[in-house]
Amino acid sequence: MTKPSRLLASALPAVFCLFPLGALADEWTGQDKQLHFAVSAVLGIAAYSHTHDRAQAFGWAMVPGILKEVIDSQQDGNDFSGKDLAWDALGALAGAQVGHWAIGQNRVNWVKEF
Burial status of residue 107 (CB atoms within 10 A of its CB: 0-12, 13-18, 19 or more): exposed
| pLDDT for residue 98 is more than 90 | yes
Nearest to 82 by CA among 38, 28, 18, 27: 18
3-state SS assignment for residue 37: helix
The whole-number average pLDDT for the span 39-51 is: 95
- What pLDDT does residue 22 have? 46
Bridge partners of residue 103, in order along the sequence: 108
29 backbone φψ class: left, alpha, beta (φ>0; ψ -120 to 50): beta
pTM of the model: 0.72
pLDDT band at 31 (very low <50, low <70, confident <90, very high): confident
